Copies of this chain bind each other. A is one copy, B any other.
Amino acid sequence: MPVYSISHVENVRVCVVMVGLPARGKSLISQKIVRYLSWLSIKSKCFNVGNYRRQIATMPIEVDAKFFDPNNEEGLKYRQQAIDLAIDDMMRWFSDEQGVVGILDATNSTRARRETILKLCRENYIEPMFLESFCDDQDLVLQNILDVKTTSPDYVSKPQDYAMKDFLQRIEYYNQIYEPMDAVTDSELTFIKLVNVNSQIILNRIESYLESRIVYYVMNLHIKPRCIWLSRHGESEFNVTGQIGGDSNLSTRGWRYAKKLPELVLKSLGPDAQHTNLTVWTSTLKRTQQTASFLPYKKKLQWKALDELDAGECDGMTYEEIEQKFPEDFKARDDDKYEYRYRGGESYRDIVIRLEPIIMELERQENILIITHQAVLRCLYAYFMNVPQHESPWMSIPLHTLIKLEPRAYSTLVSRIKADIPAVSTYKEKGTSQLGESVEGMSSKSRDLISASAES
């Protein structure tokens, strides 16, 4: 009997069919849903019809706005080919790769198109859920075009002015045939309609658990610019002695980091430092609160869900002691660190489950600085940077380093600010019970990992 998290109750497959004019944030929403579900171990994938269109190598015509004129028969032919390719791929993925949530990212702007997809889903026992992003706030649309579309692969080496004008014309062509989802006409369908981001949301026949999770996630998204800072606590007394877990105090060097942290945060804020409203989250353990104690921000919250991975019977032991006392466990953990659950304690998978409400709250909030622990920080980082599960427990997140994340439309910018205060390494390579000699001594492999994921 496998262990179920809240995410695996039903045996349901869902196809999220995006609906909406271009530049309504459909791809952004699609990619966020995929990242969120993947982090929760729910196999999901996005099928972007624009990408399939760009892959039709034999296409002899130029893709400017006129390509999208509903009266352009040649354009129509290639666009049909693109959506067919996307749907074929998605159906193959559902059947051959046991996909659970597939997202069809296209405008799907007519009822006829949506009917076809609906029929296909039902024939394949896949639940179709339509997700429309409707936006009549012209400022939002223009901002989106500027932020994203003028740098689209469709406009490589074109001036921005041209791209903007051409894209607006493309939207206009789509608008001629657009049939928005409607609470009455489409009352038999399962759908979410977001109006102007999420100032109004219509939910229709949302039934399965998976659908309701996706709805709740999408409901909580916002597009205001903000940053998230992540830091481990300063070096602790247990870090110095190589013991895991516990609730020890900071070491002398850990206290130095705590004192320096306000300066690091200010530096990372740049010129807006004085005006930034920032909330500090810590775990319930002393070492994170001590690390936060010199920060000048009034709002500080403690979360039990941010506590370090519970090592159960191994709490307070060194890796060498664990290797000696429980050699089989030690090996099992190295073999599958994500799934391995300490005797009477937790696995990385357990942490992800308890962090889920934290992620939801992070999506809702603006500027947050989180001071937490190695394993928890790895899981949070994996969410933002889309790091695969089997890699995340092996990422190196050194002590005395502040990480700043700036979520952008299709990526998250990462910067790391080092405090230049020495600390032991708590990084254990696979197959050894020895820790690295210092932060600088960490393997290049683990270092590569973190930079690679930063670009994903």
A contact set with B: CB distance below 8 Å: 1-6, 8-9, 183, 187, 198-206, 209, 212, 215-216, 219-220, 246-247, 284, 289, 300-305, 310, 315, 344, 350, 353-354, 356-358, 361, 364-365
**Contacts A354-B354, A364-B212 hold; do A284 and B3 have CB atoms under 8 A apart?**
yes
- Complex Cα spacing A350 to B303, Å: 10
Whether A203 touches B205, Cβ cut-off 8 Å, given contacts A6-B361, A305-B6, is: no
29 A-B pairs with CB atoms under 8 Å apart are A2-B302, A3-B304, A4-B301, A4-B302, A5-B303, A5-B304, A6-B305, A9-B301, A183-B200, A183-B202, A187-B200, A198-B203, A198-B206, A199-B205, A200-B202, A200-B203, A201-B202, A203-B203, A203-B219, A206-B219, A209-B361, A209-B364, A212-B364, A216-B219, A247-B344, A305-B353, A315-B344, A356-B357, A357-B357
User: A69 to chain B: closest CB distance in Å?
Assistant: 32
Q: Which residue of B lies closest to A205 (CB)?
A: B199
Instruction: Assess the B209–A219 pair: CB atoms within 8 A.
Output: no
Contacts of A289 in B (CB 8 A): 1
- List, in ascending order, chain B residues with CB within 8 A of A354's CB: 354
* B residues near A3, Cβ cutoff 8 Å: 284, 302-304
CB distance from A246 to the nearest CB of B (A): 8
In the complex, chain B residues whose CB is within 8 Å of the CB of A8: 301
A304 near B350: Cβ-Cβ < 8 Å: yes
Please, how many angstroms separate the alpha-carbon atoms of A230 and B168 in the complex?
59
Copies per assembly: 2
> Using Cβ atoms and an 8 Å threshold, which residues of chain B touch A303?
3-6
Interface SS of chain A: mixed
Given contacts A200-B204, A201-B202, contact A304 B353 (CB under 8 A): yes
The complex places the Cα of A344 from the Cα of B310 at a distance, in Å, of 9
Residues of chain B contacted by A5 (CB below 8 angstroms): 303-304
How close is A97's CB to chain B, nearest CB, in angstroms? 24
A304 to B302, CA, bound (A): 23
Q: Which residues of B contact A203 (CB under 8 A)?
A: 198, 200-203, 219
> Nearest-CB distance from A26 to chain B (Å)?
19
| Cβ–Cβ contact A1 & B305, under 8 A | no
Residues of B within 8 A of A201 (CB): 202-204, 206
Q: How far is the CA of A199 from the CA of B199 in the complex (A)?
A: 20
Q: Are B212 and A1 in contact (CB under 8 A)?
A: no
Count chain B CB atoms within 10 A of each CB in A2, A206, A315 and give the residue with the most: A206
Cβ–Cβ contact A6 & B357, under 8 A: yes
Q: 6 smallest A-B Cβ distances: which pairs?
A: A201-B203, A6-B357, A4-B301, A200-B204, A3-B302, A216-B216
Q: How far is the CB of A99 from chain B (nearest CB, A)?
A: 22
Q: A284 to B341, alpha carbons, bound, how many Å?
A: 11
How many angstroms between the C-alpha atoms of A209 and B220 in the bound complex? 9
Complex contacts, A365 vs chain B, CB 8 Å: 9
Whose C-beta in chain B lies nearest to the C-beta of A201? B203
Q: Are B209 and A199 interface neighbours, CB within 8 A?
A: no
Least CB distance, A267 to chain B, in whole angstroms? 26
The distance from the CB of A10 to the nearest CB of chain B, in whole angstroms, is 10
Q: Give complex CA distance A344, B219 in Å.
A: 35
Nearest chain B CB to A209 CB, angstrom units: 6
Minimum CB–CB distance for A280 against chain B, Å: 10
Q: Are B6 and A302 in contact (CB under 8 A)?
A: no
Contact present for A200 and B205 (CB under 8 Å): yes
Within the complex, the shortest CB–CB distance from A369 to chain B, in Å, comes to 15
Which residue on chain B has the smallest CB distance to residue A345? B310
| Alpha-carbon distance A8/B357, docked complex (angstroms) | 12
CA–CA, A191 to B357, complex, Å? 23
CB-CB under 8 A from A353, the residues of chain B are 304-305
A423 to chain B, nearest CB (A): 24
- How far, in whole Å, are A272 and B4 apart by their CA atoms in the complex? 29
